[in-house]
């Protein structure tokens, strides 16, 4: 039995009441107040104790893989850093169906006694071809039901149902929707792969190719990467060759959909944009300039430059020109601008992920003492970071909260190498 965590104080649950009703799918409606708990992932915060008892049968059909879906929901919510999972077996609740059916109202007292802040209850009806889930979130501190959703569809879509409910829980607790189901592209050998937050699998985007490198996702989930071709380096966008010639390094999408990248011309390596037949160079720092990333409003660009003698993170106008170094001394690479606009994640000393304020200052190292950690990329809401790490003996993708908490493998059962992740800027469909 897992350790039962103490209850959070009532002051930690001070909330803003919203009068809007929460409506379930398939015609089920539940009128409840919504208590929003502001959470700042840039620093320390109180987590909420959450219990997810075993899902119950909804109808005559069997529950199928309901234990697996229950675990997936717990894994999702644990991954966010907002919740600490409480073993539901510690509760003295006598009716496991309480809160799920009209003849069994929710009993909050047994959950309050073990210091639980939230309880998620689920009922499932499943067959080999179809699944129906009814999922509900209860706030123990206020004695109210905050979310009630009913999902029904093909059995193969059960994971997507769990991801959608995860996002609803995060919205109810923090006031902002979650990003489960959002896409992450990465490199595995000479193949480009794609996965989703909340998935255990990945699928191929490219058919493979020699020298593929730095896949990236842009607005509308557009894709881009580089590879070695017969006529030199090729820049691939949405599966088509848009440039072939001199070396192109680490492409990225601007907000307007234009691709920028490091471009190694006859004389120097600078940031260039690819919006016509020929690259248009927009920086001229005199050294090597690569790895552009753009602010969410599209006005500024961060990139790597060695113009000061060692590689550092510089910020300039997105239209180009001279930039100013914002990273402290020492080698710094792999910048990623937060969608919230306030932070830039990057790699220090070629082995650890750090963040810094977009204007400089506020430095914080997020990884340390666990392998080589590279290529951070923010989630589309700015509250999580994906990165590659060798801490497990091979290169794998890991995710963590934006303050460095809850570092864990993203797709641990994927056997191939996992490097160079890029998180889509697009929020998942609700």
The residue among 189 and 12 whose pLDDT is bigger is 189
pLDDT at residue 429 in the model: 85
Question: 108-156 pLDDT, tens per residue?
Answer: 999 999 999 999 999 999 888 999 999 999 999 999 999 999 999 999 9
Q: State phi, psi for 315 to the nearest 5 degrees.
A: -125, 135
Number of Cβ within a 10 Å radius of residue 368: 12
User: Whole-number mean pLDDT of the chain?
Assistant: 87
In terms of phi and psi (left: phi > 0; alpha: psi -120 to 50; beta: otherwise), the region of 214 is left
pLDDT at residue 61 in the model: 65
Q: Mean pLDDT across the stretch 291-310? A: 94
Q: pLDDT category, 34, cuts 50, 70, 90? A: very low
The SS3 call for residue 363 is: coil
Q: Mean pLDDT across the stretch 211-235? A: 94
The SS3 call for residue 86 is: strand
Q: Which domains does the chain have, with CATH numbers?
A: 10-174 (3.40.50.10070), 183-423 (2.120.10.30)
Q: pLDDT category, 268, cuts 50, 70, 90? A: confident
Query: Is 401 a residue whose pLDDT tops 70?
Result: yes
Q: pLDDT category, 102, cuts 50, 70, 90? A: confident
Q: Mean pLDDT across the stretch 4-23? A: 26
Query: Is 66 a residue whose pLDDT tops 70?
Result: yes
Q: Mean pLDDT across the stretch 55-61? A: 83
164: tokens are 């959608």
Instruction: Tell me the C-alpha distance between 173 and 181, whole Å.
Output: 19
| 356 CA to centre of own chain | 19
Q: pLDDT category, 16, cuts 50, 70, 90? A: very low
pLDDT at residue 75 in the model: 95
Query: Is 1 a residue whose pLDDT tops 60?
Result: no
Instruction: Tell me the C-alpha distance between 352 and 335, whole Å.
Output: 12
Instruction: Tell me the C-alpha distance between 285 and 293, whole Å.
Output: 17
Contact at 8 Å (CB) between 158 and 165? no
pLDDT at residue 39 in the model: 42
Question: 354-382 pLDDT, tens per residue?
Answer: 999 999 999 999 999 999 999 999 999 99
């Amino acid at each position: 039995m897992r350790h039962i965590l103490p209850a959070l104080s009532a002051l930690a649950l001070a909330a803003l009441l919203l009068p809007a009703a929460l409506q379930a799918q398939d015609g089920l409606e539940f009128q409840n107040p919504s208590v929003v708990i502001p959470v700042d992932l840039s620093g320390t915060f109180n987590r909420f104790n959450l219990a997810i008892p075993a899902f119950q049968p909804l109808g005559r059909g069997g529950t199928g893989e309901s234990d697996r879906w229950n675990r997936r929901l717990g894994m999702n919510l644990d991954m966010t850093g907002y919740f600490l999972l409480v073993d539901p077996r510690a509760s003295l609740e006598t009716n496991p169906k309480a809160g799920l059916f009209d003849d069994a109202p929710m009993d909050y007292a047994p959950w309050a006694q073990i210091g639980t802040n939230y309880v998620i209850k689920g009922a499932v009806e499943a067959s080999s071809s179809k699944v129906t889930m009814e999922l509900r979130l209860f706030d123990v501190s206020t004695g109210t039901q905050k979310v009630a959703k009913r999902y029904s569809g093909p059995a193969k879509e059960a994971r997507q149902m769990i991801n959608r409910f995860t996002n609803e829980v995060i919205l109810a607790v923090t006031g902002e929707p979650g990003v489960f189901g959002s896409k992450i592209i990465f490199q595995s050998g000479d193949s480009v792969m794609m996965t989703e937050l909340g998935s255990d699998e990945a699928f191929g985007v490219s058919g493979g190719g020699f020298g593929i490198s730095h896949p990236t996702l842009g607005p509308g989930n557009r894709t881009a990467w580089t590879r070695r071709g017969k006529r030199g380096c090729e820049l691939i966008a949405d599966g088509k060759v848009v440039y072939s010639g001199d070396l192109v390094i680490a492409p990225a999408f601007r907000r307007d959909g234009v691709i920028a990248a490091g471009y190694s011309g006859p004389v120097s390596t600078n940031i260039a944009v690819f919006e016509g037949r020929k690259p248009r160079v927009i920086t001229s720092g005199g050294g090597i300039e690569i790895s552009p990333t753009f602010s969410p409003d599209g006005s500024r660009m961060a990139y790597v430059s060695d113009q000061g003698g060692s590689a550092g993170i510089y910020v300039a106008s997105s239209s180009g020109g001279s930039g100013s170094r914002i990273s402290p001394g020492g080698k710094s690479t792999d910048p990623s601008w937060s969608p919230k606009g306030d932070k830039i994640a990057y790699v220090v000393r070629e082995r650890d992920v750090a963040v810094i304020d977009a204007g400089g200052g506020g430095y914080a190292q997020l990884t340390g003492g666990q392998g080589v950690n590279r290529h951070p990329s923010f989630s589309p809401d700015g509250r999580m970071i994906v990165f590659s790490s060798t801490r497990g003996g091979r290169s794998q993708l890991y995710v963590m909260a934006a303050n460095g908490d809850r570092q864990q493998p993203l797709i641990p059962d994927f056997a191939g190498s996992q490097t160079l992740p890029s998180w889509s800027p697009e929020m998942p469909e609700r």
